[in-house]
Amino acid sequence: MAEKKSHIYLTGFMGSGKTSMGKALADISGSVFFDMDNIVEGSQNMKIADIFKVKGEPYFRELEHRLLVELEKFEPCIIATGGGVPCDEQNLQLMKRSGVVVYMKCTTDELFQWLEINKGDRPLLAGKEGVELLAWIEAELQRREVYYEQADIIVDGYHISPEDLWEKIIALRA
């Protein structure tokens, strides 16, 4: 019988460690790993920051949604989603029906400390520093948690090991 919950979707705020965890879980399980941000960039031949600048955020969100629809059809795999992906009811329902959704939960302070130094060229963080960045993360995390908290598995993003998370996923599927 086909496994009902096939994919593993890693969700969480920017900087919560979804990509590193996804790669580690792929190593443990021998599954294929996809990073949605990378695929979107490759499909447009543009950095996400440029997609936001040139085409706008709604266009980017549509690309994310279409990619999710394509990935749903794929063989069981591990997917690091962009931080905004689950914050859309359609996306969230798609993920929940086709896989195990994991929320890599981190506190505002943890995210702030990491993102302050590792902001990269994330368009939503551009131009925000110090207390302004902290306040934005706090408000945005609060808004998004309504969605993030609907995950099947919620873990302490910065402290759980890939092995422990893998065990939780196996237990849920059993």
Q: Taking a C-beta distance cutoff of 8 angstroms, is the pair 67, 51 a contact?
A: no
Alpha helix stretches (DSSP H) within the chain: 18-29, 36-44, 48-55, 57-72, 89-98, 108-117, 130-148, 162-173
17 binds ligand S3P (CB under 6 A): no
Radius of gyration of the chain (CA): 16
38-57: which residues touch ligand S3P (CB under 6 A)? 48
Is 83 a binder of ligand S3P (CB under 6 A)? yes
- 86 and 148 Cβ atoms separated by less than 8 Å: yes
30/37 Cα distance (integer angstroms): 21
What mask of x and - would describe binding to ligand S3P in positions 115 to 134, judged by CB under 6 A? -------xxx----------
Q: Which of 146, 153, 140 is nearest to 104 (CA)?
A: 153
E strand or H helix at 100: strand 99-105
Q: Decide whether 84 or 99 has the Cβ nearer to ligand S3P.
A: 84
10 binds ligand S3P (CB under 6 A): no
The verdict on 86 binding ligand S3P (CB under 6 A) reads: no
37 binds ligand S3P (CB under 6 A): yes
14 binding ligand S3P? (CB under 6 A) = yes
**Using the rule CB under 6 A, which residue among 25, 26, 34, 82 binds ligand S3P?**
82
Q: Which is nearer to ligand S3P, 42 or 172 (CB)?
A: 42
> Which residues are at the interface with ligand S3P (CB under 6 A)?
14, 37, 48, 82-84, 122-124
